[in-house]
A = this chain, B = another copy of it.
């Protein structure tokens, strides 16, 4: 492609509202432009990278036995009403009315449409399993669109759905797509982890998120420093410390702690450690109040709490509620008196405490030498805290570290959530109706593009892996007015194209500095410069990533490229 024919509007300045590297560089290098908040146009370079990612996704999905189809974006409200999500999805689901005042959703996801389609066409176990996918534009009206393509309102997704007559079949397809996803992100060159994620009450084994490790990620991952274990921090179970506390219990004592509120203040004042304190928090679990205890250096994990109670909502109680239910302020809470009024649940680490400190349900007083079991009883001990850096990895191998991640993929065992709500049943071998068992699987295609840009850049611009780069080679005649240079560039352009290389040739009448800066910004793997030595048949090859420069004869170009690009 000649640069004069295409549309690559580069920018020297960093756009004001672009906070992160990928967003800044994709704008600056002319890969995309914003239309409205969270809505983008992919310019020719961006579109080419998108297509390369889509092709990888397609190949891996096809290999995994999924078949491609294409469902509509306009989805009649009735489907969403059947599943119930019309009422629960909230303002993220964009809605509109047609000219006859019928309501529609703009596809944010396609569980409803595919369930309706399969329900209407598949009646027998003989036609199962079936795995379908599509690569399609999705719409979600994010509250705060940000970070460019990482959190947009219109974006490109690969979504897949599988239908089964038994759990084993779902497990098999889940594993197959898990492997396909690993292949996709590996082929994109990404540093990623498959992370155990929250699947609500279903247990952590049934859903994984594929996270690209990045400082700008919005999720925190807990991973082992010695194994491939990784989980969303909400999901990582905590192993109980095997070292038992053998101190002898002392007599309980009420002490004055004037003005000391936080764990740190109290521990310091009483010359002890946060680890020796009990943190007491009143939660509202659906409609019921529960006092939750964790060790002073730990944090309550409300998702674990939610799962234990099978609750829809778990929130910290307000100051007013706390006063009303337990007769004291939030800063004075403790289990001893509270247990008379509310259920008490404690983290497993609390059970091991001996001679601990806790609030006295009374302003400016704490108890010392408190012993769980002796001084108060709890309804249950459970794993209800967040894992922390330095904790043992849940798989027993190594210690936990934290990292930020960008979610680029998600595999999920849906079970019968949609098939039951929408009556998608099949006749089993015994002629009985059974709800289909489903899985769903997503890849953020445009988000993956941004994640690659986020991982592959330097101070001068983007650094595309050669299989995703919009072109392999940036061919730059330094001076287009120099006939020898122009002619040699044209010749190389044609011959490289014939050899199967994608070539972008900068045929613009621009100063060399502008051309080189644009070239670094755009970030193709190899730059070939045709300059003053053109008349001697000598050109310069620059490897974008390493910055390495080679002067070679034109006859060595193809071999040099093949070495660099592995092609």
Contact = CB atoms under 8 A, between A and B. Distances in A.
A132 B76 CA distance: 33
Contacts of A71: 35, 41-42
A514 interface: no
Given A5-B65, A7-B121, A121-B9, A132 B44 contact: yes
Nearest to A92: B99
Given A99-B91, A141-B98, A143-B99, A72 B7 contact: no
Given A7-B121, A94-B96, A137-B137, A44 B68 contact: yes
A153 interface: yes
A33 B122 CA distance: 13
Contacts of A495: none
A7 to B, nearest CB: 6
Interface in A1-37: 1, 5-7, 9, 33, 35-36
Given A94-B96, A99-B143, A121-B7, A47 B69 contact: yes
A74 B41 contact: no
A41 B134 CA distance: 11
B113 A69 contact: no
A137 B138 CA distance: 11
Contacts of A122: 9
Interface in A287-328: none
A267 interface: no
Contacts of A35: 71-72, 74-76, 113, 116-117
Given A76-B35, A139-B74, A153-B74, A5 B67 contact: yes
Nearest to A156: B70
Contacts of A39: 72, 74, 76
Nearest to A40: B72
A50 interface: yes
Contacts of A6: 67
Given A41-B72, A73-B154, 17 more contacts: A1-B67, A5-B130, A7-B69, A7-B121, A41-B69, A41-B113, A41-B117, A44-B132, A46-B69, A47-B68, A47-B69, A72-B137, A73-B73, A94-B96, A94-B98, A98-B141, A99-B141
23 contacts: A5-B130, A6-B67, A7-B67, A7-B121, A9-B122, A33-B117, A33-B120, A35-B113, A39-B76, A41-B70, A41-B113, A41-B117, A44-B67, A44-B132, A47-B68, A47-B70, A50-B70, A72-B137, A73-B137, A91-B99, A96-B96, A99-B141, A106-B106
Interface of A: 1, 5-7, 9, 33, 35-36, 39-44, 46-48, 50, 65, 67-76, 91-92, 94-96, 98-99, 102, 104, 106, 113, 116-117, 120-122, 126, 130, 132, 134, 137, 139, 141, 143, 153-154, 509
